[in-house]
Amino acid sequence: MSEENKRNVNSKNEQLEQFRSDDRDKHLTTNQGLKVSEDEFSLKAGERGPTLMEDFHFREKMTHFDHERIPERIVHARGYGAHGEFELYESMKEYTKAKFLQEPGSKVPVFVRMSTVAGSKGSADIPRDVRGFATKFYTEEGNFDLVGNNMPVFFIQDAIKFPDFVHAVKPEPDTGYPQAASAHDTFWDFIANNQESAHMVMWLMSDRAIPRNLRMMEGFGVHTFRLVNEEGKSHFVKFHWKPELGVHSTVWDEAQKINGKNPDFNRQDLHETIENGDYPSWKLGVQVIPEEDEFKFDFDILDPTKLWPEEEVPVKVVGRMTLNRNVDNVFAETEQVAFHPGSVVPGIDFSNDPLLQGRLFSYTDTQLIRLGGPNFHELPINRPVSPFHNNQRDGYGRQTINVGKTSYHNNSIASNTPSVATEAEGGYAHYQEKVDGRKIQARSESFKDHFSQATLFYNSMTDVEKTHIKEAFSFELGMVNDKSIRQQVVNMITNINLELSQEVAANIGVQVPTEGGSNVTKSSPALSQANTVNKPDTMKIGVLLDDGFTGEAVQKVLDGLKENKTYPTVISSKLGKIHGDDGTEIEAVGTFDTGHPVLFDAVYVAGGAETDANFQKQAGYFVTEMFNHYKPIGATGEGIAILHEAGITDVAGVVTGEDVEQFLSAYVDAVSQHRHWNRNV
């Protein structure tokens, strides 16, 4: 390096030095240098009251966080969207005056965006993560946005901590990695030191965090909202999306391999399924609690780290959403769509959930920087189907050409138009909840139970699901370098289940707890994925085929699989025509190089009389991977010998036979089960 270059480097380092900041051992301050006395709770009117706008620290912290990234979303950057429609089955008039929830059979268009949370726009589809599930209803009264996740609870109780949580789960700032992963020090340090996250982290370590596809995951509104009817009566409500194909997941080894083989696996699956006309659908369910029953339960219904057990508050199915059209342009639609939990219609209102209250500020603030200004509502994907009229003007990206002199209220020039609407005319009226409390930064005592529902969740799992949770904790914490953090998390888990903490501790090399545990025995069967819908519909089946296959029998199996609404895909050593023993020709559309077993839900091995050593080897690997991931396996003809050579015999989910009708019936039944957990690997 020349002397001049050295001088330039040193000069630049000196220039940068004045901007470096080491925050260790310092008091927390605002950006103006004001020392902060509270950073856990936003300022509220009473412990359970609404958040107050005068909380300048909350607004500064949240505003700064909302503007940290351009142009992709700070969270939920990697998403995929589709259009569809929502049809109402049962009138909700008893609970709400929202027009789109009045008449059975009525339909409204929707746009749905599903996403991962932590990863960047360029990350893979199946990390261990929460999934966003956001739905925009384009109703005649305006847009209603149901902005939720595939898990019914969240990591934090107050929105003021959201920047902290996301900072912790994002790539660590000193290294810039890991991407789209929670298996690192800062995330688990946050969990150990913010134990309100205990319930949510149990969901994150469960199979719910690695869904098989976007069509087979539940959606939840997460927060407690209000429904208000024509008489002004209020009910608390939680929203649910129940997939008609059931709730199904990958296994961790499989998920990691999918991310390597096809990082676009989930978005491609959604796109192709819609293109094939097998439109994914979800039932809309609601849990409703009368306002007078707010304090009836052993949990606070406003706490976003708590769910309402379905056995205590049943889910009432009221409608169905179907996604039936792909986007024309991912950027113009999926990337530019702007959701906001504050986009509501008359009859839908908010509760004092402090996380929801903060989101009502944050989402608009985020769109201002991400979409370049206040006119993002004019982008085609965001435009309501109902016309909008107001006195808002100008700004970046303005498309409306307003006519006339006035742009203010009140005025006489235009007879004070646009004018406000009365409630009878459809004007939105906030529910008149009585609020009376001291200005305080605190949390209600009823929010301080962090472990009982975490234990309820674990109690509700099958033995297989519990094993997966133990393995997930062991993997994640095994990636944590700081042993003290690993120990802190194990100590926290002890409050959920002693046996769980003991097994995890033994696996990750920390002190094994001998005391602790929970006395909660309650469970909720609805939380287990074992209690879900099982269908063969849209299951992707890899068909391993080579020259000399038994033509008539194989063709009948393929036809039968298609009749049962599955997607058989022929895989061989090379692309092109494969010839059967009777002259039948079947096209191979994938090879062992491009058709990895993790990309399929099941395998059917037909083989062929002319298979060579390479086919035998590749097919053996294919079926072994399928077997190890507990997937259905079927074989006829020469394929049976391939299974035997791989050491796979007639155990759970493995179907062989020469009688086509009997084989097909048994195999479709095995495919319907998705996974066969009672298989010894």
Same domain, 561 and 511: no
Catalytic residue among 76, 240, 248, 674: 76
Residue 18 falls inside a structural domain: no
Residue 165 falls inside a structural domain: yes
- CATH at 466: 1.20.1370.20
Full residue range of the structural domain in which residue 332 is found: 44-378
Q: Which of 495, 527, 559 is the last residue of a domain?
A: 527
Q: Residue 280: its pLDDT value, please?
A: 98
Give mean pLDDT in consecutive 10-residue pieces for the chain, a chain of 681 residues.
51 57 80 83 92 88 79 91 96 97 96 97 97 96 96 97 97 96 98 98 98 98 98 97 98 97 97 98 98 97 98 98 94 93 95 96 91 90 87 87 88 88 89 91 95 98 98 98 98 98 98 96 97 97 96 95 97 95 94 96 95 94 97 96 91 93 96 91 45
- DSSP string covering 193-247: H-GGGHHHHHHHTSGGGSBS-GGG--EE--S-EEEE-TT--EEEEEEEEEETT--
Same domain, 519 and 547: no
Same domain, 489 and 569: no
What does DSSP assign to residue 100?
A: G
Q: How far is CA 359 from CA 132, 140, 159, 418, in A?
A: 14, 24, 7, 29
pTM: 0.92
- CATH at 597: 3.40.50.880
Residue 430 falls inside a structural domain: no
Residue 15 falls inside a structural domain: no
Q: How far is CA 589 from CA 262, 283, 543, 595, in A?
A: 17, 35, 10, 9
Residue closest to 134 by CA, chosen among 144, 142, 125: 144
Contact 508, 249 (CB under 8 A): no
Same domain, 520 and 561: no
Q: Is residue 605 classed exposed, middle or buried when 0-12, 13-18 and 19+ CB atoms within 10 A define those classes?
A: buried
**Which residues are paired to 545 by β-bridges?**
607
Same domain, 224 and 254: yes
Same domain, 483 and 619: no
Catalytic residue among 149, 194, 497, 564: 149
Q: Residue 425: its pLDDT value, please?
A: 87
b/e for 649-677, b at 16 or more Cβ within 10 A? eeeebbbbbeebeebbeebbebbbbbbbb
Residue 516 falls inside a structural domain: yes
Catalytic site residue 389? no
Counting the structural domains of the chain, the total is 3
Residue closest to 79 by CA, chosen among 132, 151, 150: 132
Same domain, 55 and 111: yes
Q: Residue 657: its pLDDT value, please?
A: 93
Residue 426 falls inside a structural domain: no
Query: At which residue do the structure tokens 């509760």 appear?
Result: 351
Residue 383 falls inside a structural domain: no
Same domain, 464 and 559: no
Q: Which of 320, 344, 378 is the last residue of a domain?
A: 378
Task: Return d(Cα 377, Cα 367) in angstroms, integer.
Answer: 10
Q: Length of the chain, please?
A: 681
Same domain, 486 and 601: no
Query: Sign of dihedral through CA atoms 260, 263, 268, 269?
Result: positive
Q: Residue 16: its pLDDT value, please?
A: 47
Gyration radius from the chain CA atoms = 28
- CATH at 220: 2.40.180.10
Q: Residue 7: its pLDDT value, please?
A: 56
Q: Residue 681: its pLDDT value, please?
A: 45
Q: Which of 328, 346, 378 is the last residue of a domain?
A: 378
Same domain, 188 and 275: yes
Catalytic site residue 76? yes
Residue 431 falls inside a structural domain: no
Same domain, 625 and 604: yes
Same domain, 491 and 576: no
